Amino acid sequence: MEEFKLTINLLPKGAWNNDFSKTLSKKDWDKLREFALKRANGKCEICGYETSDLDVHEEWEFNTEKKTQSLKDIVAICSRCHGVKHFKNSVRLGYGEEAQEHFIKVNNCSEMEFASHLNKALLEYNERNSVYRWKIVADLEKFGGSGIEIKQNNIPLIKNPYENVEWDKLSFDDTKNLFEIKRNENLIGSPKIVSIDVDNYQGIIQIKALFADRIEWCLDEKKIKTKYNTAGLFATELKVKNLIGKNLKFKIIGIGGETISKNFEILPQEVL
């Protein structure tokens, strides 16, 4: 990319929860944070704006071949520079125009140069989204973090048996082929699945269902979690982080019966 003082750094989806501000204990993160703030001495390390309310931002470098996420720096910056770093989020919150103006001002560049830089950042973002899991590489001693242990996220890959299902077009016969359905005598209608979505970047299975009182999750035939519904549409999710097993399935239970899923195969993170 161009040699701009202020750049756009879009974290790929698989790295959204890898930053140290989330994975470290508050005590350990505060050590890194205070080190960066002390170095900045009340001035944004990018644009030089003086403020006592600096944000602390982690700069990462990504290698898609090795699937590594390497820490380049931890910097103390103002909220405006931080908004440029996370430009997609600024746009989502309605501050895209302000972020663009700040980028142009700090870098003393044209709108065309901004557009070119943003386009390259988006292309890199899309390319990096081909990787579901990143291995974190960092020398925290350089940033005041001597003795801090780096923990890698253990999020298995989920093989979704319902990946290509068009939920709004299902007939009753289709449903019988997708689930094991048990109905209670003299009652009409076991729980109905509205949708199943799998987010393999964060390791989450999301389910929406009607006529459901609770859901029971089983891993290799052993019950691991139960969640209850109060009324109406049942929207629930399961995070597979740190799960160790092979076959995961759910049973949704209502007054009219049960709806039992096929197996979601759980694959170790190393196969990615």
- Each residue's pLDDT tens digit, 188-229: 678 999 999 999 999 999 999 999 999 999 999 999 999 999
Q: Rounded to whole angstroms, what are the CA distances from 208 to 183, 234, 238? A: 19, 5, 12
**What does the pLDDT read at residue 3?**
85
What mean pLDDT is predicted for residues 111-125?
97
What mean pLDDT is predicted for residues 1-13?
88
Cα torsion 181, 242, 167, 14 to 10°: value is: -170
Mean pLDDT estimate for the chain: 94
Report yes or no: 46 and 160 within 8 Å, Cβ to Cβ.
Answer: no
**What does the pLDDT read at residue 190?**
87
Residue 257 has φ and ψ, to the nearest 5°, of 145, -155
Q: Decide if pLDDT at 271 tops 60.
A: no
Band of the pLDDT at 187, cuts 50, 70, 90?
Answer: low
Residues of the chain with pLDDT > 70, as a percent, come to 97
* Tokens found for residue 24: 């470290």
CA distance 120 to 8: 9
SS3 label, residue 227: strand
Give residue 200's identity as a one-letter amino acid code. Answer: N
Instruction: Report the candidate in 193, 159, 197 with the shortest Cα–Cα distance to residue 176.
Output: 193
What mean pLDDT is predicted for residues 7-29?
94
Instruction: Report the candidate in 32, 26, 90 with the shortest Cα–Cα distance to residue 56.
Output: 32
Report yes or no: 264 and 203 within 8 Å, Cβ to Cβ.
Answer: no
| 26-74 tens-digit pLDDT | 999 999 999 999 999 999 999 999 999 999 999 999 999 999 999 999 9
Report yes or no: 196 and 179 within 8 Å, Cβ to Cβ.
Answer: no
Q: Decide if pLDDT at 237 tops 60.
A: yes
List of E strands, 49-179: 55-63, 68-77, 135-137, 157-159
**What does the pLDDT read at residue 60?**
97
Residues of the chain with pLDDT > 90, as a percent, come to 87
Report yes or no: 37 and 56 within 8 Å, Cβ to Cβ.
Answer: yes
Considering the entire predicted model, what is its pTM?
0.85
| Cα angle 161, 163, 168; round to 5 | 115
**What does the pLDDT read at residue 185?**
73
Report yes or no: 161 and 249 within 8 Å, Cβ to Cβ.
Answer: no
Strand partners, 158: 266
**What does the pLDDT read at residue 263?**
97
Q: Which residues contact 222 (CB under 8 A, 6 or more apart)?
A: none
**What does the pLDDT read at residue 42?**
97
**What does the pLDDT read at residue 143?**
96
Band of the pLDDT at 2, cuts 50, 70, 90?
Answer: low
**What does the pLDDT read at residue 172?**
81
**What does the pLDDT read at residue 1?**
43
Chain centroid to CA 236 = 17
